[in-house]
Amino acid sequence: MIIIPAIDLRNGKCVRLTQGQFDKEIIYGDNPVEVAKKWAAQGAKYLHLVDLDAALTGKSQNSSVIKDIINSVNIQVQVGGGIRSMESIEKMIKIGVDRVIIGTSAITERDFLVQALKTYRDKIVVSIDAKDGFVALKGWTEISNKKALDSARQLEEIGVKTLVYTDIAKDGMLSGPNFKELKIIKDNLSINIIASGGITSNKDVAQLRKLDVSGAIIGKALYTGNINLSELWEV
């Protein structure tokens, strides 16, 4: 299982939002490049970047920061947030992003997803945000009537190889992941599952390893010190 530190970008800074709410922002660093270097120095092999400005407006304001991070660390980087067109994917690929994460558009714009998979194959990752087992859309502002498992199965059929699964009720709350839903998703799919949301302790990480998910994205717990990244390799 790959441990993937998360760096959320807003206005060029490293931040965390509580439950995805932009008016509940905590700034954890004015220099995201230094934050990336810190996680790399502690043994991270992958970084998860989210462009919150792009997620909100559809236009990236952090491309230069993302590029600087990629040029500053010798590890792989995946980026999500506001990826809604082939042009936005191409832009990320050109600056050196290893994998591009498509969220809402993967659910609502299937032709776009199919084209992205055909063009970029394994460089495309899809993110499903869910609450109570149902898909959340548009930056978590809308809970659909689509079951997350059904949507995930459809994504697998289309050709998605890697899925980020986030329980939004858990994200940023330091209350532990939704192991029950993760197990349902893992047991019913054959694709790679990356767990996200609520990972709070070394115990959580150990339990995710037992579930045999392919990756775990950790955000707030790293910034608060609940989890020490350099110690996770011994878990």
Spell out, as residue ranges, where the chain has pLDDT lower than 70: 18-25, 138-142, 170-174, 234-235
Report domain extents, the chain. 2-232
Those residues with Cβ within 8 angstroms of residue 130's Cβ, 6 or more apart along the chain or in another chain: 136, 148, 165, 166, 167, 168, 181
Question: Which one is catalytic: 53, 129, 167, 171?
Answer: 129
What does the pLDDT look like over 103-125, one tens digit per residue? 989 988 999 999 999 999 999 99
Amino acid 81: pLDDT: 92
Q: Is 8 a catalytic residue?
A: yes
The C-alpha torsion from 87 through 63 and 156 to 135, rounded to 10°, is: -110
**Residue owning tokens 């230094």:** 34
Q: Is 122 a catalytic residue?
A: no
Size (the chain), residues: 235
Amino acid 67: pLDDT: 97
Tokens encoding 55: 């997620």
21-28, long-range: CB within 8 Å, 24+ apart, which pairs?
22/52, 22/56, 28/223
The CATH number for 2-232, chosen from 3.40.50.2300, 3.20.20.70, 3.30.950.10, 3.30.450.20, is 3.20.20.70
What global pTM score does this model have? 0.92
Amino acid 174: pLDDT: 66
